[in-house]
Structure 1
Amino acid sequence: MANVFVISDHHFGHKSIIDFESRPFGDAEEMTETMIDRWNAVVGSDDKVFHLGDFSFLNKEKTRGIVDRLHGYKTLIMGNHDRGRSRTWWLEAGFDEVSEHPIVYAGFFFLSHEPMYMNKHMPYVNIHGHIHGQKYEGSHYINVSVEHWDYTPVSFDEIRRLVVPNEEQ
């Protein structure tokens, strides 16, 4: 059975993000190669990955070169830095599916780029990116920005353990 992963905010080609977020890379090329290696170390060719936005600052050809190297069936939920390009642009850049809006996964998880409003009475969990190294308090939010996960996609099994720690998997 294929595994499902989530991750966000790679910012491929955005060298300033190294300083903005204190990323441990010497330059954008090292950042790119490390993040591709870490993705492919956990994601298999039959796995599915939801990328929750802000994927690449590069042109379509260079972006496609990265997408093509990444394992798995890749769905992009467009982030604020992705929305300047059309859904078609991202499909042509190699994503298998592209959504301009948040989606509900497994009837319980809201997958979005920016954190969504969630009050404590809502029985859902918002898996999001956008805020990089920051974190929202509470069990309703899980930030999957690369900075929190060692630049590696996180499996839904791990997310489930965070939400319901003692649940039998």
Structure 2
Amino acid sequence: MSRVFVISDHHFGHQNIIDFESRPFATAEEMDEYMINQWNEIVEKEDKVFHLGDFSFYNKEKTKAIVQRLHGKKFLILGNHDRGRSKAWWLDAGFEEVSEYPIIYGGFYLLSHEPMYMNKHMPYVNVHGHIHGQKYEGKHYFNACVEHWDYKPVDFEAIRSSLAPNEEQQ
């Protein structure tokens, strides 16, 4: 049975992110290989992965090579660093679907690149990226940035389980 995962902010090929976020790598190439291996360790061919943006700093050829190496069917929500390229560019790079805007998943989860405003009365959870090592408090936010998950996509069932008390209050 296929599973659904989310992940954000790989920044493939971005040497400076290593210093910006204190990532434990010497080079972007070392980082890229580690992140590809971490992804493929848990994602199977038939699984679906929502990437919440800031995927790659490489040209299309190198980006496509990475996308092809990653297991699963990949869906991209454009991040701030992805927006300089068209939806067609990303589709050609190998993503199944590309969205310029947040999407609603499962009628309850708002998948976005940047955190969205969520007040305590809203019945939704915002699964997001963008803020890397930071974290918003409360059950309305779930940070899917690679820094929080050892560079592995997060199984949606784990997200659902971690938020179960919030869902039962509805």
TM-score of the alignment, normalized to the shorter chain, above 0.5? yes
Q: Distance in 1 between matches of 2:37 and 2:103?
A: 27
Q: Which runs of 4+ in 1 moved over 6 A?
A: none
**Distance in 2 between residues matched to 1:108 and 1:137, nearest whole Å:** 18
Contact 2:76 2:97 in 1 (8 A): yes
Cα distance in structure 2, aligned partners of 1:59 and 1:129: 22
TM-score normalized by the length of structure 2: 0.96
- Give the CA RMSD over aligned residues: 1.2
Partner of 1:54: 54
For structure 1, the 5+ residue unaligned runs are none
CA–CA separation in structure 1 for the residues paired with 2:152 and 2:158: 12
* Counterpart amino acid of residue 145 in structure 2: S
Give matches, 1:47-86, under 5 Å.
47-86=47-86
The alignment status of 1:41 with 2:41, answered yes or no, reads yes
TM-score w.r.t. length of structure 1? 0.97
Question: C-alpha separation between the residues in 2 aligned to 1:68 and 1:84?
Answer: 21
Kindly tell me the number of residue pairs found equivalent between the two proteins: 167
Q: Is the 8 A contact 2:139 2:166 kept in 1?
A: no
- Contact kept? 2:101, 2:112, Cα under 8 Å: yes
Measure, in 2, the Cα distance between the counterparts of 1:5 and 1:24: 24
Aligned to 1:144: 144
**Equivalent pairs: percent with the same residue?**
74
> Following TM superposition, by how much is the alpha carbon of 1:109 offset from its aligned partner in structure 2, in angstroms?
0.2
3-state DSSP class of the match of 1:90? Answer: helix
CA distance in 2, matches of 1:23, 1:161: 28
The whole-number CA distance in structure 2 between the counterparts of 1:87 and 1:162 is: 33
Determine the structure 2 residue equivalent to 1:29.
Answer: 29
How far does residue 161 in structure 1 lie from its aligned partner after superposition?
Answer: 1.3
